[in-house]
Every structure is written in structure tokens, then in C-alpha cells.
Amino acid sequence: MRREGSAFQGLGVVTLKELADHLTSIRLFVLELLVMVIALVTVYLATEQIRETTAEDPFLFLKLFTTTREQSPFSFLFFLSFLVPLMAIGLGFDSVNSEYNQRTLSRILSQPIYRDALLFGKFLGALVTLAIALIVLWLSVIGLGLLFIGIPPGGEEVARIFVFLLVTIVYAGVWLALALLLSILFRSATAALTCLGLWLFLYVIWPMLAGQIAQIIVPPDPRYTALGLQTPGTAVLEQILSRLSPSTLFGEVVVALLDPTTRSLGPIYLSQMQGAVLGAPLPIAESMLIAWPQTVGMVATAILLFVIGYVIFQRQEVRA
């Protein structure tokens, strides 16, 4: 039998309340400060490099996000791919368990709303907060770039930067869904630690581990090794495994978006490159097409994590 009324009754109220809570919290202020300082530093380093080396590049502005000083790995992109998860975890790790801790859950759920609205509102509130923070960050980077380089971005560059922003919000959504799920499962300290542990594992350890596992399952062919090449089977498996980490997916999407010359995100055969003008940029639609599977993968991961959390939350007793 259908239950009465809409599952989303009260959704707007919960979302706005969560948003207000986040925007006034000291936690967000600290995170935002950290991100802004890093943006400033990385953009400064990038412009230094761009000024020195670049002669003519039609996508000069995009370089702002990806380049940095030689022998320094600290590009804006590098910081982004590990700070965004940190921000998402920071906002999400105590979203549900704090209602238990403050003993507000049963009081709120005794109002005429469903649990759906509460959980979805918490997710949306945190996601909107992250989106606002990221938009501010984007605008600052673009503004600083204009100041430092003095060349305005072209139309396609703006479009690519905008899509990059959207993908970053999706990436934040994945980690937020994970944090929300753990906040349903564990008390706040445990949830935070588990979240950070998973983040370290997926971001640092898994890419290294993926290569090792791939080599165990598909041992490298000595003929390829002798030529100093990777065995195709091993390389493909390694990539498949490493794509289980959302950080890998995000990295691939960003490469396709910010480097218009990217034609493929995996190993390809020379025969597939026939007729290609190497180094020629692709139109934005083509770049998006290349990044499409990865983007869908991230959206699907976020939805999957949210749904698991949703099902568990629906069955949880309101008494802690």
C-alpha cells in the first residue's frame, strides 16, 4: 500500500536549515580559508611558469588549473583532488549521528515529515554549501588569473572551466554521500576516522595497489618488458582497478576537459590513432564525450552510496 503524502514534504525546510548551519559554522570557515590560501599559492606558481615558458597556446587560461612550477607537483588540480574530499567529509561525517547525539532525531521525526526529507535535505544542504564554496573558489582563481596573466579566457575556455566546476561538484557529491553513509552507520568520531581512512586508502594507497594486483593477475609479458613497454593486458587491468577510486575517475575527467588535446583516457593501439593530427585540440563536445563514462561513473557511485545509506536509515530505530 502506498504511504500517505509526499516523501519530500519539508525537504526545502531541512535543506535551508542545513545550509544555514553549514554557512555559519566555524568548520566551513576554516576549510574555506585553507582552500583559498592554497588557490592563491597554486595560481601564483602556475602563472610564474606560464609567463616563463608559453609562447602561443590557444588554451592558455586552462593551464592555470593544471600547470605549476617545474619539479613541483602542487598544481591547483592536485590540491583540488584531495581537498574536495576533505571538505565533503568535513561537512558530512556528523550529519545524521549528530541528530542522535543531540537527541533531536525523534523530536524532528515526530513532525509531519518523512525520514526521506531529512536525509535528502541533509545531503542537498551540504552539497549546496560545497557548490557555493567551489564557485567562490573558481571565481577567485579566474580573477587572480586575469590579474596575473592579463589575458582574458576565450569562450570555449570558459565553457570548459564551467564543466570542470560541475564535475568537481559531482566529485564532492561522491565523497559527501560516503560521509553521509558513514554518519548513519557510526558515531561521529568513528565516522570521521573511517571516512579519512577510506579517503587515504582510495586516494593514496589504491592507485599503487592497483598496479601490483594487476601484475599478479596478468603477469607482464617479458617481450613487452624487454622493449620497455607495459603489457597491454596488465595496463588495461590496472586502469580498470584504479578506476574503482573516485579520485582516479575525477583525475581522468579533468585531464580530458582541461587538456583539449586528450584523445583517449586509456591505452590505445597505434592503429586507432590513424589519421589523427597529434597535438590538435578537440572541440569541447568531443572532450566531454571522452570524459562521459567517468562522469556517469561518479554520479552512479554517489547515488549508490546515498541509496545504501537511505535504506539503512529507514530501518534504523529512532532511539539510539
| Residue 13 near another protein by CB under 8 A | yes
| Residue 23 near another protein by CB under 8 A | no
| Residue 114 near another protein by CB under 8 A | yes
Is residue 254 within 8 Å of residue 164, measured between CB atoms?
yes
Of 110-118, 150-158, 259-267, 305-313: span binding another protein (CB under 8 A): 110-118
Smaller CB separation from another protein, 20 or 189: 20
Of 31-39, 79-87, 103-111, 256-264: span binding another protein (CB under 8 A): 103-111
Is residue 133 within 8 Å of residue 30, measured between CB atoms?
no
Cβ neighbour number for residue 49 with a 10 Å cutoff = 17
Q: What are phi and psi of 209, to 5 degrees?
A: -65, -35
**For the purposes of burial, counting CB atoms within 10 Å of the CB of 220, is it exposed (0-12), middle (13-18) or buried (19 or more)?**
middle
Separation of alpha carbons 169 and 143, rounded Å: 20
| Residue 5 near another protein by CB under 8 A | yes
| Residue 113 near another protein by CB under 8 A | yes
| Residue 104 near another protein by CB under 8 A | yes
| Residue 108 near another protein by CB under 8 A | yes
Please enumerate in sequence order all residues whose Cβ is within 8 A of that of 119, keeping only pairs 6 or more positions apart, or say none.
Answer: 96, 180, 309, 310, 313
- From the CB of 115, what's the least distance to another protein, in Å? 9
| Residue 1 near another protein by CB under 8 A | yes
- From the CB of 4, what's the least distance to another protein, in Å? 5
Separation of alpha carbons 105 and 292, rounded Å: 39
| Residue 106 near another protein by CB under 8 A | yes
Residue type, 118: L
- Residues near another protein (CB under 8 A) are 1, 3-5, 9-10, 13-14, 17, 21, 102-104, 106-114, 317-319
